[in-house]
């Protein structure tokens, strides 16, 4: 009896303990499940942002936190390539130019190509390494070979961002690795960059479609998994750091529609790609299918004209005329990040030229200026007229010593009696109708060579158009010469000529005037 009673009591105790344990487990189950779910995610929730822009109209088709500051990570390398492409367009680098590798570049953290100090890498290989493997060592190689140092190149990147309308972007390095302070941008600014690099460098943009890069016996696949998987996707660049999350800037086209999209802050590469594919699927059919109405997104050098400088009283002879001084606006210092309104992209075609000169002996467009030769015959650019063929624009007269005027570092302003100066030639104006631009070079002879080459390769497309160069002064005082053909009456004609030129390997875009 005693044993039976003890057994009963023991059984009841066991049952009671089991019930208490069940109740206790039931009470903590939701919290434990939540903890496990968080552990599975790693507690990782980077700040998100996204935008989809219709490239033909500039209209935002979708936006989420598009103006909030974000870290671009390796999407930074798109601007690194933008700056490099500009140097290639100017003739300072070619696809075959060797770039030297420093010890600092070789020491960069992965992802990297594994270059060694003292090595060299061809410019084209550097481009493909950035596009596919997102190599950080190569990004520094580009920065040092183009800008002289990583810091100077980052300044160039930020200035270029300002020029194309990326008002909320500041770059500290060329690769996007963590820095203090970090590279900062917005989804809207990155969409602007994605549009600008296509508009400005259509020939070089094709590199972003590289699926696999072969280098020294190794194959490096493109990190952009949407290439070849989502119809219409042709680039551009992925990025990831722990602080930024998984980022992607991409472009998708059909025959008549085009969108540029950005997804920032993905928790994984797969979830980021899935979201981007969904955004493209939902917005591309809604994109505008007609003619492009948005302006070309490209940098717009700014030139300011100061008022005429007045000589001090009593220092200049009566009737003296002091010419106005044109001073190029200095490069701005990297500005603080703003989260308010964002400046719209600047239209390169709206920039006022400093000077325009024709590149051939064909008819002169309305408002363009020639040097006058004998009997009014045009003198080819670069030809020095004879004494019997005065130049229409008078040379600057010598400034009397007592009336010398200086503005900052600008040369003394020329002053002469008004009656002694020939009549000034009228200021050059843009041609009427439509023109196409094939690029810009730092030397006018190179710009003319671009025009001659294009004319030789595409004579039918250019027809009776008029080749000319247009001098512009960029920020920082850099002088560039645009290579253009004028004489298109309609936008369609100019765009058709551009298509033909692109097939021959030329960068080209149409612009009014």
Q: How confident is the model at residue 474 (pLDDT cuts 50, 70, 90)?
A: low
Pairing of strands 245-253, 258-266: antiparallel
Residue 166 falls inside a structural domain = yes
Percentage of the chain exceeding pLDDT 90: 48
Domain membership of residue 319 (yes or no) is no
Q: What is the mean pLDDT of residues 84-92?
A: 95
469 pLDDT above the threshold of 70: yes
Q: What average pLDDT does this structure show over 265-276?
A: 96
Residue 102 DSSP label: P
485/510 Cα distance (integer angstroms):
10
For range 160-181, the mean pLDDT: 96
Kindly state the average pLDDT of the residues 36-49: 72
- pLDDT at 425 exceeding the cut of 50: no
pLDDT of 475 reads 59
The band of 19, judged by pLDDT with boundaries at 50, 70 and 90, is: very low
Identify the weakest region by mean pLDDT among 109-123, 409-423, 454-468: 409-423
Is pLDDT larger for residue 42 or for residue 196?
A: 196
Kindly indicate the confidence band of residue 427, based on its pLDDT and cuts at 50, 70 and 90.
Answer: very low
pLDDT-derived band of residue 373, with 50, 70 and 90 as boundaries?
very low
Is residue 345 within 8 A of residue 196, CB to CB? The reply is yes
Higher-pLDDT residue of 429, 329: 429
Within a domain: 340: no
- When divided into structural domains, the chain yields a total of 2
Mean pLDDT of the chain: 75
Residue 292 lies inside a defined structural domain of this protein: no
* DSSP code string of 408-471: TTBPPPPEEEGGGSPPPPPPP-PPSSEEEEEEEESSHHHHHHHHHHHHHH-HHHHTT-EEEEEE
In a domain, 461, yes or no: yes
Give the residue with greater pLDDT, 83 vs 354.
Answer: 83
User: Which of 253, 286, 319 corresponds to the end of one domain?
Assistant: 286
* Residue 341 domain-assigned (yes or no): no
Lowest mean pLDDT, pick from 54-58, 244-248, 311-315: 311-315
304 domain residue, yes or no: no
Q: Name which of 74-88, 152-166, 416-430 the model is least confident about.
A: 416-430
- How would residue 65 be classed by pLDDT, with cut points 50, 70 and 90? very high
Among the ranges 158-172, 349-363, 385-399, 486-500, which has the highest mean pLDDT value? 158-172
What share of the chain has pLDDT > 70, as a percent?
65
- Between CA 349 and CA 245 the distance in angstroms is 37
Last residue of a domain, one of 286, 308, 341: 286
What CATH number does the domain containing 492 carry? 3.30.70.1070
pLDDT of residue 235: 92
Q: Which of 286, 310, 331 is the last residue of a domain?
A: 286
CA distance 383 to 449: 16
318 falls within a domain = no
Can you give the residue range of the structural domain that contains 463?
A: 434-512
Q: What is the CATH number of the domain that holds 148?
A: 3.40.710.10
> Higher-confidence residue: 349 or 205?
205
pLDDT at 330 over 90: no
């Amino acid at each position: 009896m005693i044993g039976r009673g003890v057994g009963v009591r023991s059984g009841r105790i066991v049952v009671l303990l089991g019930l208490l344990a069940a109740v206790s487990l039931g009470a903590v189950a939701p919290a434990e499940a939540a903890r496990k779910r968080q552990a599975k995610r790693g507690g990782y929730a980077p700040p998100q942002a996204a935008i989809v822009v219709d490239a033909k109209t500039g209209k935002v088709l979708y936006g989420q936190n598009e103006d909030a500051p974000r870290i671009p990570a390796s999407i930074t390398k798109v601007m690194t390539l933008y700056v490099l492409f500009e140097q290639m367009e100017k003739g300072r680098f070619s696809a075959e130019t060797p770039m030297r590798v420093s010890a600092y570049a070789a020491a960069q953290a992965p992802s990297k190509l594994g270059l060694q100090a003292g090595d060299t890498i061809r410019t084209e290989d550097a481009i493909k390494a950035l596009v596919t493997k997102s190599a950080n060592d190569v990004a520094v190689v580009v920065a040092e070979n183009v800008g002289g140092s990583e810091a100077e190149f980052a300044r160039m990147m930020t200035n270029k961002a300002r020029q194309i309308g990326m008002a909320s972007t500041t770059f500290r390095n060329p690769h996007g690795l963590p820095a203090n302070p970090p590279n900062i941008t917005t989804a809207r600014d990155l969409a602007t960059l994605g549009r600008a690099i296509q508009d400005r460098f259509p020939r070089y943009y094709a590199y972003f479609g590289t699926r696999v890069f072969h280098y020294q016996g190794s194959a490096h696949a493109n990190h952009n998994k949407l290439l070849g998987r989502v119809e219409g996707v042709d680039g551009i660049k992925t990025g990831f750091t722990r602080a930024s999350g998984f980022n992607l800037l991409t472009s998708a086209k059909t025959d008549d529609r085009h969108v540029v999209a950005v997804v920032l802050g993905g928790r994984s590469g797969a979830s980021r790609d899935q979201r981007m594919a969904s955004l493209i699927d939902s917005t591309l059919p809604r994109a505008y299918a007609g003619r492009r109405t948005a302006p070309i997104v490209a940098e717009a050098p700014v030139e300011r004209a100061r008022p005429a400088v007045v000589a001090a009283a009593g220092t200049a002879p009566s009737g003296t005329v002091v010419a106005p001084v044109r001073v190029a606006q200095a490069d701005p210092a990297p500005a603080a990040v703003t989260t308010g309104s964002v400046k719209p992209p600047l239209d390169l075609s709206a920039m006022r030229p400093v000077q325009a000169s024709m590149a051939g002996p064909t008819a002169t467009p309305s408002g363009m200026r020639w040097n006058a030769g004998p009997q009014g015959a045009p003198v080819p650019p670069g030809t020095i007229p004879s004494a019997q063929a005065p130049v229409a624009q008078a040379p600057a007269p010598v400034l009397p010593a007592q009336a010398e005027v200086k503005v900052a570092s600008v040369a003394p302003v020329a002053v002469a009696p008004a009656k002694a100066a020939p009549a000034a030639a009228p200021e050059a104006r843009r041609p009427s109708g439509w023109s196409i631009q094939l690029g810009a070079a730092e030397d006018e002879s190179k710009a003319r060579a671009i025009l001659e080459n294009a004319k030789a390769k595409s004579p039918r497309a250019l027809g009776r158009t008029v080749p000319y160069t247009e001098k512009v002064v960029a920020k920082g005082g850099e002088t560039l010469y645009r290579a253009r053909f004028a004489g298109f009456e309609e936008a369609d004609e100019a765009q058709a000529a551009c298509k033909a030129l692109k097939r021959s390997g030329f960068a080209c875009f149409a612009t009014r005037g």
